[in-house]
Every structure is written in C-alpha cells, then in structure tokens.
Amino acid sequence: VLAWLAQEDDKLRIWAEGGDVYVESAMVLAGALKRRDVTPANVRTTTVMMEGTQQSFRQAGKKLDLALGYGMGAVKMARLYGMPLVASRAIRAAWHERWARISAYQTRTVDDAERDRVLVNPFGRRLAFHLEWDKTLGRMRLMDREKALAFPAQSSVGCMIQAVLPEADAVPDARLIATVHDSLLWEVEEGALASTIPLIKRIMERAWVQMGRRAEFGEFKVPIKVSVGRN
C-alpha cells in the first residue's frame, strides 16, 4: 500500500513479478554496513547482529523496511535495534536513496499534515493533527511525525479489512474466529476446504477502486497467502 501511494514503481515491480521486496532492502542494509559477503541468494542464512541477537539479513531488512517506511529516525533506530548511531544513519540514508519515491512521499505527507492539520486516506478516513512551536526551527511542527507517516497506509489497510468483513463472516461452511491487522482466521471443516479457499481468495483479492489505477499495474489488488493447519 505504501509503495502504491508513493508510486515507488521499483518496489511494485518486484512484488508484481513474484519477488521479495525485503530481500532488496536486506541488500540495502548489507551495502550500508559494507558486508560484501551478503548476496540475494544467501540473505536468509547470512546474519547480522540486531536487538542483541543474530538475525538473518532478510529478517533484518524486513524490520528496517517497515520501520523506515513509517518514518523512524536514526536515533530511535540505534536505540531500538542496538546499533551505533553512525551505522543507523548510514542505513537510513541508504534506504531513503534506494526508495527515493517513498522518501519524497514522506516529505509531502508531513508537509500536508502541517499545512492542513489533517490527512485523508484514499477511502476518505480523516485524522487530525496537533502542531507545536519548535524554537529551533522557528515555526510550528507536527507533534507526532511517525503517526502522520503511518496513517495513510495503515488506515487504508484497516479500511480494506473492514470492507471485506461482512462477506468474510458469511463464508459458507466456515466460521471467522479472529482478525489480527491484515490477517483473518477461519475455522473450516476439512471437507469444505476445496470450495472455501477459492471463495476466500475472491473476497480478499478484490480490486480497490479507491486506490486508483496505474497504467503499468492496473487496479490495486492485494495478493493473499492462504495457509491451512489443524487446530
């Protein structure tokens, strides 16, 4: 959703072609840390120290991609992930250079929130913001920059989930028992799986006209992953 809103076409192409966008961000992380031993083929097995443990570069790349996508600063990143400030600054700069359109979109979003004191997502949901006087900058600024950056993408996903819930709750031979952010859980009789899964995919993978249409990618749809297991 964030890549679509920002028109970050490189990230969208990776997704559309069945690639892993977090591998790309893992390579950005490796480049910033000057880890020449890391390649797209071994990002899941090569590790880096983060949060006090050794984690795969792919997992670390995912965490950083989400954190920076929501506007995390270098100081907070260094504290949260347990890395030197100089490293977090280098990583943040490299990420913003690689995903330059998301970076520009973040700047526009903050500017819009400070100018209008409200943001409106593609579904019409609004969120108001308060400003405070910044003595250093000599102007009013957002009290919560990260909240503003998270709102368009997070609230759009929330609107999508809310929109599908009535149909999701009415799937024949299935009982919707939990929703967690962008995941839904049904209880289904084993004999009904063959008919239930295609129906769930049809409900979830609908086109969202609110998000607009892009010439290269068509209408916005969210591909879903269905997993089946015994309770």
Average pLDDT, the chain: 93
Is the predicted pLDDT of residue 136 greater than 90, yes or no? no
- What's the pLDDT band for 112 if we cut at 50, 70, 90? very high
Q: Is 224 helix (H, G, I), strand (E, B) or coil?
A: coil
Burial of 83 (0-12, 13-18, 19+ CB in 10 A): buried
Is the predicted pLDDT of residue 121 greater than 90, yes or no? yes
Is the predicted pLDDT of residue 41 greater than 90, yes or no? yes
List, for residues 97-110, the tens digit of each pLDDT value: 999 999 999 999 99
Compare 16 and 119 and report the one with higher pLDDT. Answer: 119
DSSP label of 24? H
Strand partners, 214: 218
Q: What token pair was written down for 66?
A: 């989400």
- So what's the pLDDT on residue 200? 93
pTM for this structure?
0.89
- So what's the pLDDT on residue 182? 82
pLDDT mean over 144-149? 92
> Which amino acid appears at position 4 of this protein?
W
**Could you identify the residue written with the tokens 């347990």?**
82
List, for residues 78-92, the tens digit of each pLDDT value: 999 999 999 999 999
**Could you identify the residue written with the tokens 């004191």?**
117
